[in-house]
Structure 1
């Protein structure tokens, strides 16, 4: 493994009146010397640190995407400012974390920069029997009638019609969804909306219906969507606590197997609807939903475009190579006796390696200081995509969404489904 090199130095970069430093509340900022925060291998990255308190004590930590520590120390402010410099000699993300203490106040800040991001590669590989494994699951679904149960929801005040949907899934279970259909003449493009992690009553994604989509929002846990909110809270704290690791030592028992096959069942439903344009079906989601969007797009050719914000389930094997693994960081929770079995399971559920099977237009987003779905893992997926691909790169963003995503991403999916997205782009996103 190549060595990482880092250099930190304090330097005067400007002067501020002492009175303003003493009178202002504690304020800590950090930026990089390039606006896009993109660097080549071996480039020196300079982080500019500014603090409003002249007597602040500031600790810094320089790392590879928040994981492998390169250097730690204390900054000496000169005129309220300092510079931290570092570099990477392998593709990844250089991250600076700061903790400033002044009196009773403590402030933390972080910033990240991408180093040769298009050269990042997934640490794992698809199992040789990937197609056979998922083909078995699809065959199970084919033996189960769709049994779509559709109920109109009265009293909805949006400019679309809302339905409750349930569909038959594996082993006698059912899938529960919301289904919004625009008013007017179809057929409409459709999007399968997949939620982030947790247990909740899902929203109905009105923004996609307003953009002209028939939108099917799945609740992945097989739980009806007509309970009181406390019911979902209790499930999340109790029966479904840690569900993302249930059965992780066996790919046939892993929790997400039923979920992913349930997503394919949702595509069965959309494909059966006369109001849906069968050639314009997309998937979208964030975090858990982003990773699942990649996985289902890799498994089902009915998906013609996808949008995946800060996707989870990417690059599970990253932690074996000194860099972050994507949520839910399965190996971090595996005991010594089950690591081998967990590693086997990971291969069938890695959205970064499965991305190599995706040829349709894809839109991703990465937060450069995301501690849940680290940007290294997102770029590992992005770089495996085989079709037109865009990614919003957001230096100051953690596990969140780029500014304006709710309005812009439905438009992007419409363009993708209409054949207007044909290139590869790295876009500086805003948080």
Structure 2
């Protein structure tokens, strides 16, 4: 490992942990009715016809057909994003790709998959899915309806992911049984919350996932979205109990499909103990893989080489989809 020695933060982004301590982390206990909460939400979400609508896109690429897409989600929201499809070869797989809390300005063309239709949804309130009822910036977005677990915006973002799978399957029925998910940071946490309940998602890749181990997420200093929740908690202690329903590490204990987890040892935005709590929570399986990064949300000397190695792992991982 080559942990960054210099940084501008007022706290240590390793939180004093080494690999031994990271690997010992486990998720907190689940709240009562955790499974019922999410199973009921999933049933409601997939009862909706997403009615995907494709339109022309100004972004072009030599190897990919590019479309803008909108589809119906829960609560009357229409989710927007991009769909790319290979110009050559048959479509045999589907992949939904979540974004970080910075949003998304377009599709990614360097994801190492072939014969794959890739849907890049923008979570409700963010980027192309902007909505007047939801603040777009991370510090306020993460607080939207936080006092009500049923209407909390993160739950709606999970719904958007499930409906993305529905939209992708409606457009390409042949991919059924060959659908994966990939998400980073915010998208990693939302993915961990979504995957356990959706049997259509058969492989998942999460990079530096957030929302893991809420007792730590709500206490460790951070420059990420957790900071605004910690400040809100000072005058709204009642939210602590129901935030357990949005604990990505607790959700990960329910995941029963192969996962590729990329977690960082140094990260000022998503505390590494929270990331490792998600990765460590997966039920034991030879099909799970963990890739350890020196740092996340921060540039470092070996970043280019590590991300190239991770990309190669992603390629091999999704080839089995």
State TM-score, norm by structure 2. 0.82
Provide the rounded CA distance (Å) in 1 between the counterparts of 2:309 and 2:289: 13
Provide the rounded CA distance (Å) in 1 between the counterparts of 2:42 and 2:229: 27
1:175-201 deviation digits (Å, cap 9, x = unpaired): 1020001123323322111110034x5
- The one of 255, 258, 275 equivalent to 1:378 is 275
Q: Judging changes above 3 Å, is the alpha-carbon distance between structure 1 residues 316 and 176 closer, same or farther for their aligned structure 2 residues? A: same
- Computed over aligned residues only, the root mean square deviation of the Cα atoms, in angstroms, reads 3.5
In the other structure, the counterpart of 2:77 is 173
Decide which moves more: 330-339 or 185-194.
Answer: 330-339
CA contact (8 A) 1:161 1:180 kept: yes
- The one of 368, 374, 380 equivalent to 2:265 is 368
In the other structure, the counterpart of 1:299 is 197
- 2:116 aligned with 1:213: yes
> Which segments of 5 or more consecutive residues in structure 1 lack a partner in the other structure?
1-34, 38-46, 52-60, 67-92, 95-112, 421-431
1:47-76 deviation digits (Å, cap 9, x = unpaired): 9x8x9xxxxxxxxx996943xxxxxxxxxx
In the other structure, the counterpart of 1:103 is none
Provide the rounded CA distance (Å) in 2 between the counterparts of 1:290 and 1:408: 19
Say how many residue pairs are matched.
310
Please state which structure has a larger fraction of its residues in strand: 1
In the other structure, the counterpart of 1:119 is 24
Please state which structure has a larger fraction of its residues in helix: 2
CA contact (8 A) 2:63 2:88 kept: no
* Structure of larger gyration radius: 1
Deviation, 1:162, is 0.9
Deviation, 1:415, is 2.9
In the other structure, the counterpart of 1:425 is none
In the other structure, the counterpart of 1:312 is 210
CA contact (8 A) 1:202 1:219 kept: no
In the other structure, the counterpart of 1:163 is 67
Deviation, 1:390, is 2.2
Deviation, 1:138, is 2.6
State TM-score, norm by structure 1. 0.63
CA contact (8 A) 2:97 2:118 kept: yes
In the other structure, the counterpart of 1:139 is 43
In the other structure, the counterpart of 1:73 is none
CA contact (8 A) 1:162 1:178 kept: yes
Deviation, 1:335, is 4.2
Provide the rounded CA distance (Å) in 1 between the counterparts of 2:249 and 2:228: 15
In the TM superposition, 1:391-430 aligns within 5 A as: 391-395=290-294, 397-400=295-298, 402-403=303-304, 409=310, 411-419=312-320
> Which segments of 5 or more consecutive residues in structure 2 lack a partner in the other structure?
none
In the TM superposition, 1:227-266 aligns within 5 A as: 236=136, 242-266=140-164
- 2:99 aligned with 1:202: no
Q: Judging changes above 3 Å, is the alpha-carbon distance between structure 1 residues 339 and 300 closer, same or farther for their aligned structure 2 residues? A: same
CA contact (8 A) 2:195 2:201 kept: yes
